[in-house]
Structure 1
């Protein structure tokens, strides 16, 4: 299997999504972008082709699952009820991005010299890091988010 065949196979498996596919021949990547808000994911096809040799269809199933989940979570859904959300702390290295690609700062607390604590909205199968923009949407302060996350950790 080559990258062109892999591209075609992935496009066929993901055609049910409301997305655009952009293939970069030089980088051997496939960019899958939502049509409504132009957010998306980029897949390195040569890495998948290498794994395909040993895992066959299993790797394609796995990639399709992750792409479908990521594309679904990139929707601009509105969270209306604060009582229904679950916020959890997430530890990341200090080298992790401090803001979203759109330039909104993540809500974070310094933890150690090597780590920071970010705060994430639990979405079931995935999570979304909370940024300043989401704070306004949720009508919460950074302090409230931190307290909610600590309360949720204690419940575990």
Structure 2
């Protein structure tokens, strides 16, 4: 379906006295804002086209449900007390938090760590108001998130291309990319790697780990990461990283080979 058709379908299902919708024709995005809090959600319509083509009814139902839940959470503040076991780190682009008082921490030039409370069907990003109301410190939240992400299951699907091995994690819990913050997981995977270990988080619903044993592996990883990035509901970065001694080093995929003197950005 064309973005404009998807826009009309969504707008017909998103009628609310406090919601204002706007369409950016250049970016093909639909934004819904709740005028009570002057906050909203932006949907990239291009990323929904294939889902609507495959099953319009299911795609519309799932998308509308996700948007409504997200809009609800913009108005209703989550209580952190008693939910320490449901706090997780999430990755977003660095500019995601601009103008918002969200609890965050630097990660790489491409990604920033934010913190969220998992509420089953969605999650609420933790801001300064929620933090103050809870009486907790930022460090307590970060430590809880670090502890909880280590407990998430890590089952990978494996594929091999031209002698290079690729491991894919898609658990369906919304925290796939967050697992890149689990140092124990990365170090355990490092033990299995015979070539260069690379990690990619092209969007927030996938983690890719690669065992690169030749130049073809770098090419495949670059193409693969870009494809996932372009198709993701919430894209993060099309740039993969080498993982060495606990550090993430960006791989400039256009060079189509292992970087020689790139600056580390972990």
Q: Work out whether the TM-score is over 0.5.
A: yes
Instruction: Please list, as runs of the form range in 1=range in 2, the aligned pairs for 1:46-125 lying within 5 A after superposition.
Output: 46-77=46-77, 79=79, 82=81, 84-86=82-84, 87-90=86-89, 92=91, 96-97=93-94, 100-104=97-101, 106-108=103-105, 119-125=115-121
The one of 135, 138, 141 aligned to 2:137: 141
Q: Pick the structure with greater CA Rg.
A: 2
CA distance in 2, matches of 1:2, 1:151: 43
SS in 2 for 1:20: strand
Bigger drift between 12-21 and 28-37 goes to 12-21
SS in 2 for 1:74: helix
Corresponding pairs, count: 151
What TM-score, normalized to structure 1?
0.69
Whether the 8 Å CA contact 1:119–1:130 is kept in 2: the answer is: yes
Whether the 8 Å CA contact 1:91–1:118 is kept in 2: the answer is: yes
Structure 2 vs 1, CA of residues 133 and 9 (structure 1 numbering), >3 Å: closer, same or farther? same
Structure 1: stretches of 5+ with no match in the other structure:
none
Superposition RMSD in Å: 3.6
Whether the 8 Å CA contact 2:102–2:125 is kept in 1: the answer is: no
CA distance in 2, matches of 1:77, 1:117: 20
CA distance in 2, matches of 1:120, 1:19: 24
Structure 2: stretches of 5+ with no match in the other structure:
153-266
Q: CA-to-partner distance for each residue in 1:58-99, whole Å, 9 max, x for gaps?
A: 2111211111111111115363x83x333423264xx75387
Q: Could you say which structure has the greater relative contact order, defined with CA pairs below 8 angstroms and 6 or more residues apart?
A: 1
SS in 1 for 2:12: helix
Whether the 8 Å CA contact 1:41–1:67 is kept in 2: the answer is: yes
